[in-house]
Structure 1
Amino acid sequence: MTDSSTPGSLYFITERDPFGDPNGSYVKIGLVRENETGRSSFDRLLEHQTGNPRILVVADSLTTTAPISELEASVHQQLARHRVSGEWFRAGGEGIRPFVDVAEAIRRELEHLHTHSSALETLAATEDTGEELLLDSEANDMHHEMVGVVRAIKERKQKLNRVALELQSLGGTETSDIEGICGHHYTNAGRRFDSSGFAQAYPDLISELGSSRIKSRFSLRQAPTLTPSADMELLKELCAAQSIAGSKPLKLARSSRAEALHADWIELHSGLHPLKQKEDLLEARMKLLCGPAAAVKGICSWKRTTIRTISQKELLPSHQELVDAFTKPTASSWSFKVNPWRPYRF
């Protein structure tokens, strides 16, 4: 089993052009984990060379102390508009340099965040003192930056949701999927243990058999809010009213309108990543400002309290009847998803 927190290297494999063009058309961006003893980017190249008539070259690689899986996933998301298939991306006239620059910037942010990890883990494992610290200039500057980042994230998410609703509405009154662009996914009905309901009904058993953990909740003071536009609310109503004529959604062919909306969605989705990364780093810095305290006045709060919870495993086998009584059915449902890359010519 691989560990997603393991550091490692990110490699960029390109194809040597048969006509001597130094900029190959495609680049593969993948990882080698630090714990994969004896393996390197060159070993990965040999694996991919098998069965490939074009000569592959390790054009560049980055080593990081941050979790390599997180770096790879972040780079893939931010470069989604260039994705061709799997880990292969289409390089432009500038070659892979812009891709490496994106990866370098993400690596720096992740490593910066990673340096805070051990201190934050220690603080997150203990209850806060309840104290509220007084504002200073550093906290004020950090708060101003965080408010701007949160507003930018909310604005981008609102635009992202708007484009998704426009795609979903292309089917009119009928629930529809669009080839290679978006689709509806069915989730079967299931069963779920109602742990909160059980806790209210049997607090003594929670105390006796449950386990303790620290519940952590961070919140930004004076966080910005956005109001959805009237036409966006109309789109929501239209999509909510769509119905499935048969057992499955209608299949629609791609149109120029759908492809344009898909391109907009991918661009917005890709641009969300650097903002979220900046938010994560600022949140980590704010938590370090709080330290053992519960809040920084006017800036943020970081509540950490001990709670007791119980799982089905802890109740079994001594209280099977209670597990059965608090295991509730969940309804089947359809969810709408947009493909985060374009599996068609662009």
Structure 2
Amino acid sequence: MRQTIRSLFVISQFSLALIAPLSFADDAGDIGKMLRAGQTNEAIQKVDNALIAKPKDAQLRFLKGLILTEQNKTPEAIAVFSKLTDDYPELPEPYNNLAVLYASSGQYDKARASLEMAIRTNPTYGTAHENLGDVYAKLASQAYDKALQLDSGNATAKLKLTLVRNLVGNSGGVNPKVNPAPATLVAQAQPTKTAPAPVKADTSPAATAKTEVPVAKNESAQSKPKAAPAPDKDEDDVTKTVENWAKAWSSKDTSAYLAHYAKDFQTPKGESRKSWAEERRNRIEGKGHISVKLEGIKVSVDDNNATVKFRQIYSSDQLTANSRKTLVLAKQDGKWQIKQERAGS
């Protein structure tokens, strides 16, 4: 575990490629350059001016949170990232950075909850998993310390406390890794001809650009037996269902959009399906323009269950996002419906 974080934009392991100027609008790119150069006062002034024209721009708001964090204005940064998680609950990076701020101020229970939300949003988000391990270690240290206060002769607790302190360090704090910029907020990258990078959240846009994964079809009779027609039909039906879901979303036909979700759909925050549906309806119908395009659709069918992975290019008057998405569907009463939805591969 890293013991210090020198700067949000210094340590190369933090995927600085995500801040490539070509991936941002002009304002966001300029602000990112200022922040990397340590010009936080100029950066905060420019981001505030840009937000006057685009108050709901997720990219600019995320950058403002980073600037405030760099300026050690923790309460203000927490407010920015908290509002981002409310407005864009599908993005895991604001949850991660919110957890870092909570951990830096000793609020480890809140940090744990935020990281669990980040992982729930994207189970393949490696940075959040590592940070959660650090937070758990700190919570364990506090628990063992309390046990020794109650029984100073408890040798087992003393040994465990020593082991945990060696893991998290003796500074009394824990410094999880901050995401310098969210992958899902980066504008669409140009496709590459290279193989896709291993699944993890902190990869460059180019590495995670579109990679076509064709669905297996019948090959020649000489090479393999003829495939049964039923699985191919199911794959086609699932693909059409997902495409119709995206079309309904793009046309802001919320009734058709919501009809693609099963009654037992696992909502992102554990709220009731009714509350989630009302929130989705308000958000979709409140947009002036929505476009949802799907690329590289890959379908896997197992009896009455299906998993669909694809790249989603979403754009509206407030946000442009290029991210991997996974849908889990179930066949209910002869109809494929979405039971689970998450960002990431």
- Bigger-Rg structure (1/2): 1
* Higher RCO (CA 8 Å, separation ≥ 6 residues): 1
Q: Which has the higher strand share?
A: 1
Q: Same fold (TM over 0.5)?
A: no
TM-score by length of 2: 0.22
